[in-house]
Amino acid sequence: MKVYVFAALKDFMPSESELNTSINNIESLREVLILKYPAAREILNSCRFSTDKEILSQQQDITHYENIFVIPPSSGG
Amino acid sequence: MKTYSLSHPQAVVNNIHISSVELSPADLLKDYHHPEAGAIVLFSGEVRTDTAKEVLYLDYEVHTSLAENMIHEILLEAVAKWNLKMALCVHRSGKVEVSAAAVVVITAARHRKEAYEANQYIINKVKHEVPIWKREYFADGTNEWGHNCSCSTS
């Protein structure tokens, strides 16, 4: 699974990375990322997750997803 | 630029919502007149500096494919809720200088109340929910990611 991150998250981790761990849902993915990048815990806890087209729910089964995007709180406008 | 939405065949909603090139609010407005709309509201969100810390420019990062979808859904929702005749939202990506437009929202309705309310609704939703992030570059050589918007009306 490829994981893409944006904005302030890039201060803590690469903008894209490959995770080989078996990850079932968004909540598990969040936990894996926090374990791997503990300094990003606060921001990861406030992130949403998405595909290239839609926001995913916490319990969404992502076992077969190839790309996941991690979305920090927005600051547009 | 103008296309007729299938969900609301009588309303005109623009189709491209993220732009890497300069926005001209005046040029966008030229296309947004409708024979049944007595009120057109245009909001231009522009980059500002600060007397405490001079801003040189902002750089916007965007999750483009998701942002395009989300803005379009927000516009269709507003069209249905306020019976808009036309709605547009375009947000910049990349570098935007002070006093340049970072986001433009245009709403056209029969009366001003609906046009104003819909316009505020759209910009608030875009600021809070759409995956767009600004990095501020200052005259003292520093830069930082913008704080997430926790406001409801500004």
The interface predicted TM-score (ipTM) is 0.93
Q: Give a yes or no: residue A49 inside a domain.
A: yes
Kindly indicate the confidence band of residue B1, based on its pLDDT and cuts at 50, 70 and 90: very low
**Which residue did the predictor score with more confidence, B116 or A23?**
B116
* Closest partner CB to B127 (pick from A46, A69, A77): A77
pLDDT, tens digit, 9 for 90 and up, residues B108-152: 999 999 999 999 999 999 999 999 999 999 999 999 998 765 443
Helices (H), chain A: 26-36, 41-45
- Whose tokens are 């903008």? That residue is A15
Task: Give the residue among B21, B101, B70 at the shortest CA–CA distance from A77.
Answer: B101
Position A20 confidence tier, pLDDT thresholds 50, 70, 90: confident
Q: Examine residue A46 and state whether it is found in any structural domain, yes or no.
A: yes
Range of the domain at A35: 2-71
CB contact (8 A) between residue B63 and residue A76: no
**Residue A48 belongs to some domain of the structure:** yes
Domain-embedded: residue A39: yes
Considering the domain boundaries, does residue A26 fall inside one? yes
A contacts of B126 (beta carbons < 8 Å): 76-77
Residue A61, Cβ density class (10 Å: 0-12 exposed, 13-18 middle, ≥19 buried):
exposed
Q: What is the 3-state secondary structure (H, E, C) of chain B?
A: CCCECCCCCCCEECCCCEECCCCCHHHHHHCCCCCCCCEEEEEEEECCCCCCCCEEEEEEEECHHHHHHHHHHHHHHHHHHHCCCEEEEEEECEEEECCCEEEEEEEEECCHHHHHHHHHHHHHHHHHHCCEEEEEEECCCCEEECCCCCCCCC
Q: Kindly report the nearest CA distance between residue B18 and chain A, in angstroms.
A: 12
Are B135 and B57 contacting, i.e. CB atoms less than 8 angstroms apart?
A: no
Tell me which chain B residues have a C-beta less than 8 angstroms from the C-beta of A44: none
At B40 the pLDDT is 97
Q: Is the pLDDT of residue A72 over 80?
A: yes
What pLDDT score was predicted for residue B31? 87
| Whole-number Cα distances in Å, B52 to B98, B132, B144 | 15, 25, 15
A77 part of a folded domain: no
pLDDT value of position A22: 82
Q: Give counts: helices (H), strands (E), chain A.
A: 2, 4
For the whole model, what pTM was predicted? Answer: 0.91
Mean pLDDT over B44-62 rounds to 95
Question: For residue range B70-107, what is the model confidence (pLDDT) as tens digits?
Answer: 999 999 999 999 999 999 999 999 999 999 999 999 99
Distance, CA of B49 to CA of B98 (rounded, Å):
7
What are the tokens at B49? Answer: 């500096």
Domain of A41, CATH number, reads 3.10.20.30
The answer to whether position A63 is within a domain reads yes
Q: How many domains does chain A have?
A: 1
Given an 8 Å threshold on Cβ–Cβ distance, is B103 in contact with A76? yes
Distance from CA of B71 to the nearest CA of A (A): 12
More confident residue, B147 or B37: B37
**Percent of chain A whose pLDDT exceeds 90:** 83
| Residue A45 covered by a domain | yes
